[in-house]
Structure 1
Amino acid sequence: MTAENRKKILLVDDDKFFQKVMSDAFESAGFTVATAGDGQAGVEAYAQDRFDAVVLDLVMPRMGGVSASLEIARLSEDPDPVLILLTSMFQGAPHEHPIPEMGAKVHIPKSTPPLDIVIIVEQLLERKRRGSSAA
């Protein structure tokens, strides 16, 4: 896969270890990865470059995931950007909402294995590519 064809993802998380683990997982799957350490830095990164998907931690300093995802959605040229909130505040399976809740349609527990998160993002991007909005 050439660099031009690689999907670009923005990982926004204040936990450097988790950020590294997720970056490695996405890079191994062929993604180009950019990272930000909090929501404000994530919004600034998004304003400078466009990404195919953004994965945000819910609780971060300066600006949390909800505020950051709402601002990224506002900045996006895409009417339905792929925004995913990760949180340790709920357990259970990853779930999707028909309309955004807390700024994102997809919520994933932080305890989800990194490879599973990558697969979910790949599925969301493939569905978007095909133009389907059904869950």
Structure 2
Amino acid sequence: MANIEKKILIVEDEPDLLKILADKFSNEGFGVTTAGDGEEGLTAIAKDKPDVILLDIIMPRLDGMSMLKKMRQEPANKDIPVIILTNLADSDAVVSSLEHGVFDYLIKTDWQLAEVVNKVKRRLHMN
């Protein structure tokens, strides 16, 4: 039986980081969709139904927490795992994100690419 490709949505407003993450997950066999802000992220969720979302917090137009709250209002999106990737080390933001069903919260300066991939794979029971 062939493996079914898992879909990941990466919502990040820093183009270089977005490309690095997208390339890495693509190389790991994921179907990758990207968005540069929360508005694009919500559109991508509706269109592509990702299996997991990597979400930045501080973004233009619609920030990550607002996107998270809006997406969780849709019953079909309540169980999509979300991993926050942010520079924001604010404990209130961590608590708020966890209250909205975030699987993990990673500070951008504290993680390595392989760690993010492993967390996603572990959450999707791929390893």
Same fold (TM over 0.5): yes
Counterpart secondary structure, 1:5? coil
Aligned residues: 121
Checking the alignment, whether the CA contact within 8 Å between 2:50 and 2:80 is kept in structure 1 is no
Q: Deviations over 1:44-87 (max 9, x none)?
A: 11111200001110100001110111222223515422011111
Q: Please state how far the C-alpha of 1:28 moved relative to its aligned partner.
A: 1.4
- Matching residue's letter, 2:62: M
Query: Residue 58 of structure 1 aligns with which residue?
Result: 57
- Matching residue's letter, 1:44: T
Segment of structure 1 superposing worse, 68-77 or 44-53: 68-77
- Matching residue's letter, 1:115: A
Supply the distance in 2 between the matched residues of 1:12 and 1:78 (Cα, whole angstroms): 15
Is 1:110 the counterpart of 2:108 in the alignment?
yes
Supply the distance in 2 between the matched residues of 1:86 and 1:68 (Cα, whole angstroms): 14
Is 1:81 the counterpart of 2:72 in the alignment?
no
In structure 2, the CA distance between the partners of 1:58 and 1:102, relative to structure 1 (3 Å rule), is farther
Supply the distance in 1 between the matched residues of 2:76 and 2:53 (Cα, whole angstroms): 14
- TM-score normalised according to structure 1 size: 0.78
Identity across matched positions, percent: 33
Supply the distance in 2 between the matched residues of 1:78 and 1:16 (Cα, whole angstroms): 26
| Aligned pairs for 1:1-135 within 5 A | 5-77=4-76, 79-90=78-89, 100-101=98-99, 104-111=102-109, 112-126=111-125
Supply the distance in 1 between the matched residues of 2:78 and 2:39 (Cα, whole angstroms): 21
Checking the alignment, whether the CA contact within 8 Å between 1:47 and 1:75 is kept in structure 2 is no
Counterpart secondary structure, 2:32? strand
Query: Which ranges in structure 1 are unaligned for 5 or more consecutive residues?
Result: 128-135
Q: Please state how far the C-alpha of 1:100 moved relative to its aligned partner.
A: 2.6
Checking the alignment, whether the CA contact within 8 Å between 2:7 and 2:50 is kept in structure 1 is yes
Q: CA RMSD in A?
A: 2.6
Q: Which runs of 4+ in 1 moved over 4 A?
A: none
Counterpart secondary structure, 1:55? strand
